Amino acid sequence: MSESEVASPTSPSSYIDVALTEEPQYYQGILLPAVLNRPRAAACLVHEHVTVDTRDHEDHTFCGVMFDVKCNEQPGVPKDYIELQEVGVRGDLGDISIYCTPESFEGKHDQPEEWERIYHGRHAPARELVMMKLETPIRLAPGQGAGLYVHSELQVRI
């Protein structure tokens, strides 16, 4: 791989609408208006696209990248969890594996038993992002994190 970028799904076909199952709420026999009877969680998946800028000056070669993702606990932003369903990668790809470990990759570089493979596939070289759908999506509650390792088994040509 000559460069990596990370992204979440953005295709319209990935949106899932869920019908509200909340029962109408009454106070002393009077139906409460919607503003006082709001569901605690969204009734649909909310998608956001995130791209990490990794400028390519074509002056390096590497076979993998490790990074952490975390669901922050920002006050005033209600969320039950975030879910990472895809990772986008570009470069000289080959056989790509993506691994996940709880909380962080820090201190786990040489501990294969701490990692779970959540994606494997063969890909041709690509200058544009190739989206890799994870076999097991990563779901993080507020305050939780995960370490990711994107690895190519492609032999480096010197």
Over range 1-5, report the average pLDDT: 40
Signed CA dihedral, 143, 10, 56, 95: sign only: positive
Q: How confident is the model at residue 118 (pLDDT cuts 50, 70, 90)?
A: very high
- In this predicted structure, the answer to whether residue 97 has a pLDDT above a threshold of 70 is yes
Torsion of CA 132, 138, 142, 145, to 10 degrees: -90
Residue 38 — φ and ψ, nearest 5°?
Answer: -90, 140
User: Tell me: the pLDDT tens digits for 133-145?
Assistant: 999 899 998 889 9
**Among 2-6, 29-33, 95-99, which is the least confidently predicted range?**
2-6
In which residue are the tokens 């998946």 written? 45
Q: What share of the chain in percent tops pLDDT 90?
A: 23
Over range 11-32, report the average pLDDT: 56
- In this predicted structure, the answer to whether residue 15 has a pLDDT above a threshold of 80 is no
d(Cα 116, Cα 118) in Å, to the nearest integer?
6
If phi > 0 it is left, if psi is from -120 to 50 it is alpha, else beta; for residue 93 that is: alpha
- In this predicted structure, the answer to whether residue 4 has a pLDDT above a threshold of 80 is no
So where are the chain's domains?
3-152
99 versus 57: the higher-pLDDT residue is 99
